[in-house]
Amino acid sequence: MTGLSGSGKSTIANEAARILFDAGAHAYVLDGDNLRHGLNSDLGFTDDDRAENVRRFGEVALTLADAGLIVLAPVISPFTAGRNAVRRRHHDAGVPFAEVFVATPVGECAERDPKGLYAKQKRGELVGLTGVDAPYEAPESPELVLVTSNRSVIDCAGELVSALSHLWKTPS
């Protein structure tokens, strides 16, 4: 799941994981913020570090998916090349992959601002906020575009689970 900070990626992923769990599926939310505190704590926010963050993230997601989990991976992932590389790794390993674009306008993300990043950027305390003063390349052909404006988290999560159900349901 890719989108700007504050777009709703993690919130939707957590609700989708709950829906999947209730349906008897084994799902895991691999959150970008959590990996930044551990495995990727040595990375900053340069373009190269952001690319390496996504590469490592993709490898962990691939390992978990290969073990049979449905991995919901909310991460900003600002560059098309990084997302495409993760897609190729999954494809080469025979592991399903779907790019989900959580399409929330930057203005709405700034209004939500759950981490206070947009406010810090506006005050000049933060440089390099993706989608504001650092690049974000929106997906050109994602498997799913989730438009969050004027929609509930439950509706968005339900749409996600419905769209991805072919990847995790076993044939009868």
Best CA proximity match to 28, nearest among 62, 77, 4: 62
DSSP structure class, residue 69 = P
Reported as type and span, the H/E element at residue 90 is helix 80-93
Cα–Cα distance list, 145 to 38, 117, 157 (Å): 29, 24, 12
Tell me which amino acid residue 75 is. Answer: V
How far apart, in whole angstroms, are the C-alpha atoms of residue 122 and residue 132?
Answer: 10
Strand partners, 101: 2, 145
CB 3 within 8 A of CB 99: no
For residue 77, indicate whether it is catalytic: yes
Q: Among residues 5, 7, 10, 77, which one is catalytic?
A: 77
Q: Which residues are designated catalytic? A: 77
